[in-house]
């Protein structure tokens, strides 16, 4: 097989067996096609001939082109996974990405909404099927901390309204059960009553278009942008901001990091720990606003 054939087989494996999201697959394709172009420029005609020295040169070139440390880390992750796939298929004898470091980049804290902003966003007047669908989507996002790909993949059999639960197929095909709040349960009941007018009985998707087809991730993004403007939110809103807000608000109330990790479906606790930084920022603001010594210090700094 040619180099593009190997990449195509690998991406098919990620899509069908490991259930990677379309967004991740698109990024991995781009990363591996960049590597393939580098190999062609260096007269490397076989994946077996790529060495760690070559890969460091490729990473250096990406860095000089302005790719962020995070993007380069993802590119290296794609190469490592790709070579593990080739090793299992006995196409190569070594993984050149093992031990190759990526340039570090500062970790950005995720954006969140305040509790009032989140409630304002999801409190949509469901005066028709489209608004009922959108309210159910937004309530479920915020109630259960779902990823965009998890929400669009939901089928009717995944939701237990009586039990207040939803079964989610997350990254790597891992399944988890997460609770659904009362407001989201009611919004889903309202939407499922209206949904029948849009779909054939055989359609399993919960969230559909007016033509009865499964709603795409891009369509959800556009509807969220529409409602953020309609509800008067000042900052741009994307689907992941509701997931971040869910995690941050839950952690502020409970301080149970392990529980938040389970609800979000994070494989590593270190991924969830970023929300403790958000919680500390919140506490620091409260301290600065309320503590007498903090107020005195701030007045001195400003010359007041």
pLDDT in tens, 215-263: 999 999 999 999 999 999 888 788 878 777 777 766 665 555 566 666 6
pLDDT of residue 255: 53
Q: Of residues 6, 243, 244, 249, which has the active-site annotation?
A: 243
Q: 95 lies in a domain?
A: no
Active-site residue flag, 240: yes
Q: Are residues 119 and 231 in the same domain?
A: yes
Q: 100 lies in a domain?
A: no
pLDDT in tens, 70-83: 888 899 999 999 99
Active-site residue flag, 266: yes
Q: Of residues 147, 223, 244, 249, which has the active-site annotation?
A: 147
Q: Are residues 55 and 18 in the same domain?
A: yes
Mean pLDDT check: name the lowest of 27-31, 159-163, 300-304. Answer: 300-304
Q: Of residues 54, 176, 238, 240, which has the active-site annotation?
A: 240
Q: 34 lies in a domain?
A: yes
Domain of residue 38 covers 3-89
Q: Of residues 130, 167, 266, 295, which has the active-site annotation?
A: 266
Q: Are residues 78 and 150 in the same domain?
A: no
Q: Are residues 170 and 24 in the same domain?
A: no
Banded model confidence at residue 157, pLDDT cuts 50, 70, 90: very high
Length of the chain: 304
Into how many domains does the chain fold?
2
Q: Are residues 85 and 121 in the same domain?
A: no
Q: Are residues 245 and 132 in the same domain?
A: yes
Q: Are residues 121 and 30 in the same domain?
A: no
pTM attached to this predicted model: 0.56
């Amino acid at each position: 097989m040619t180099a593009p054939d190997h990449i195509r087989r690998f991406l098919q494996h990620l899509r069908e067996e490991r259930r990677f999201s379309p967004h991740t697959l698109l990024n991995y394709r781009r990363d591996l096609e960049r590597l393939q172009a580098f190999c062609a420029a260096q007269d490397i005609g076989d994946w077996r001939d790529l060495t760690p020295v070559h890969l460091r040169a490729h990473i250096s070139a990406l860095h000089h082109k302005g790719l962020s440390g995070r993007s380069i880390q993802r590119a290296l992750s794609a190469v490592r996974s790709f070579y593990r796939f080739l090793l299992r298929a006995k196409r190569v004898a070594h993984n050149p990405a093992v031990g190759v470091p990526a340039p570090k980049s500062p970790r950005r804290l995720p954006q969140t909404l305040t509790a009032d902003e989140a409630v304002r966003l999801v409190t949509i007047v469901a005066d028709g099927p489209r608004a009922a669908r959108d309210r159910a989507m937004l309530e479920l996002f915020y109630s259960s901390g779902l990823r965009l790909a998890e929400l669009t993949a939901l089928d009717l059999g995944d939701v237990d309204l009586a039990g207040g639960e939803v079964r989610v197929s997350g990254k790597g095909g891992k399944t988890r059960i997460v609770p659904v709040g009362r407001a989201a349960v009611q919004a889903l009941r309202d939407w499922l009553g209206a949904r029948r007018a849009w779909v054939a009985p055989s359609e399993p998707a919960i969230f559909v278009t007016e033509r009865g087809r499964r709603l795409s991730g891009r369509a959800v993004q556009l509807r969220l942008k529409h409602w953020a403007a309609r509800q008067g939110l000042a900052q741009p809103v994307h689907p992941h901001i509701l997931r971040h807000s869910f995690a941050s608000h839950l952690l502020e109330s409970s301080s149970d990091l392990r529980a938040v990790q389970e609800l979000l479906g994070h494989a590593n606790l270190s991924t969830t720990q970023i929300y403790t930084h958000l919680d500390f920022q919140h506490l620091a603001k409260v301290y600065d606003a309320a503590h007498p010594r903090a107020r005195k210090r701030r007045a001195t700094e400003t010359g007041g």
